């Protein structure tokens, strides 16, 4: 068996890069696929060789944090890992009826890498609570804070029965990290479309 086909993942995942486009009309123009992986082997090839494994590098290193977009230089605002055929946008057919659970943390370079790595491993390893409900994760640079998002197929505002267990499992995944679920907590996507 060829090494690249060993250890298949349950789903194919896509690594996305998104940059600030507040002055553009089409949100799809602000994102780009960086790579895809469907085995542990291909995941490690991406994770070991691309700077996206350490988002603080892209968010703080001036030479890496900007992309040319429509003739203007735009800062990288977010990185995402989403299930194949699901765009990291509220308007996506799968996401528009779902929601995301998010929390913010003060900017801390070491913590950013630690949290992002744990979320990514839980995502591709299908170890989140209700893994079949997870469509992807994002990390967003908000200047002095970093926002972490876990996108799900259900609406956490409409179906709160799953929320407390989901939140408890996130706390287990990130021991020692204070997570304030009211800031911002659960956000429905359908009202944003």
Among 77, 8, 79, residue whose Cα is nearest residue 39: 8
Question: Can you state the angle between helices 109-124 and 40-49, rounded to 10 degrees?
Answer: 160
Residue given tokens 């744990």 in the structure block: 118
pLDDT-above-70 percentage for the chain: 84
* φ, ψ at 96 (rounded to 5°): -65, -20
Return the structure tokens found at 161.
């029965």
Stated pTM of the model: 0.89
Say what the pLDDT of residue 139 is: 96
Residue given tokens 């989403």 in the structure block: 82
Pick the CATH number of 8-192 from 1.10.1060.10, 3.30.760.10, 3.40.50.300, 3.40.1190.20: 3.30.760.10
CB atoms within 10 A of CB 106: 8
The pLDDT confidence band at residue 162, using thresholds 50, 70 and 90, is confident
Rounded to an integer, what distance in angstroms lies between the CA atom of residue 83 and that of residue 135? 6
Using one digit for the tens of pLDDT, what is the confidence trace for 75-85?
Answer: 788 999 999 99
133 has a pLDDT exceeding 90: yes
Contacts 24+ apart (CB under 8 A), 138-144: 138/18, 138/78, 138/79, 138/80, 138/88, 138/100, 139/55, 139/78, 139/79, 139/80, 139/112, 139/115, 140/77, 140/78, 141/55, 141/59, 141/75, 141/76, 141/77, 141/78, 142/104, 143/107, 144/106, 144/107
Domain range summary for the chain, segments of one domain joined by +: 8-192
CB atoms within 10 A of CB 135: 22
160 has a pLDDT exceeding 70: yes
Say what the pLDDT of residue 4 is: 61
């Amino acid at each position: 068996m060829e090494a690249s086909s060993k250890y298949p993942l349950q789903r194919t995942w896509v690594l996305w890069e998104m940059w600030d486009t507040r002055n553009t009309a089409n949100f799809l123009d602000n994102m780009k696929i960086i790579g895809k992986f469907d085995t542990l082997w291909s995941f490690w090839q991406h994770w070991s060789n691309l700077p996206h494994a350490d988002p603080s590098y892209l968010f703080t290193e001036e030479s890496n944090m900007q992309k040319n977009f429509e003739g203007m230089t735009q800062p990288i605002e977010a990185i995402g890992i989403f299930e194949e055929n699901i765009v990291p946008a509220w308007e996506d057919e799968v996401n528009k009826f779902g929601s995301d659970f998010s929390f913010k943390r003060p900017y801390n370079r070491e913590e950013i890498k630690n949290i992002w790595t744990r979320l990514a491993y839980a995502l591709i390893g299908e170890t989140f609570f209700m893994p079949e409900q997870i469509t992807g994760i994002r990390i967003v640079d908000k200047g002095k804070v970093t926002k972490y998002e876990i996108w799900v197929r259900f609406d956490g505002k409409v179906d709160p029965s799953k929320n407390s267990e989901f939140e408890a499992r996130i706390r287990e995944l990130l021991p020692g990290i204070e997570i304030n679920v009211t800031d911002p907590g659960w956000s429905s996507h359908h009202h944003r479309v």
